[in-house]
Amino acid sequence: MAAFSKKSEQCLSTCHPDLQAVCRELIKQYDFAVLCGHRNKAEQNAAFDAGRSRLIYPQSKHNSKPALAVDIAPYPIDWGNLYRFREMLCRFDALARLMRERGEIESEFEYGADWTSLKDYPHIEIKS
């Protein structure tokens, strides 16, 4: 069974409990890394400047405490293999639906892979 690295654990610990719960279930069946949870002002503005975010601080859901967004990637990471990202997101979504039905989480999620203006395959956020 896969397990989170220390870095993934550290990033995940900054996220909303519902994001944590789904990620902790997903790691039991699918190996992935947690790339980002909470972003401070410098980190968010650097992501914006690099074109990895459409939002400046404090407008991103990554900027909340706890973070209302998480970035994850299938492990080992292959940025060119979008099939693996889609598979991971489908698994995340199926688990989230099941956990909501069981009353284990309350949140619904939005996926950056579904956006039309800036595809952000690692990004998952809690719907407002």
Residue 95 predicted with pLDDT over 90: yes
The percent of residues above 70 in pLDDT, for the chain, comes to: 100
Rounded average pLDDT over 92-97: 98
Residue 57 predicted with pLDDT over 90: yes
pLDDT at 1: 83
Residue 118 predicted with pLDDT over 90: no
Rounded average pLDDT over 54-71: 98
Rounded average pLDDT over 6-32: 98
- For residue 120, give the DSSP letter: -
pLDDT at 117: 85
How does DSSP assign 1-21, residue by residue?
-----HHHHHHHTTB-HHHHH
Separation of CA 31 from chain center = 14
Residue 63 predicted with pLDDT over 90: yes
Residue 17 predicted with pLDDT over 90: yes
Domain ranges of the chain: 6-126
Which one of 3.40.50.720, 3.30.1380.10, 1.20.1270.360, 1.10.10.60 gives the CATH number of domain 6-126?
3.30.1380.10
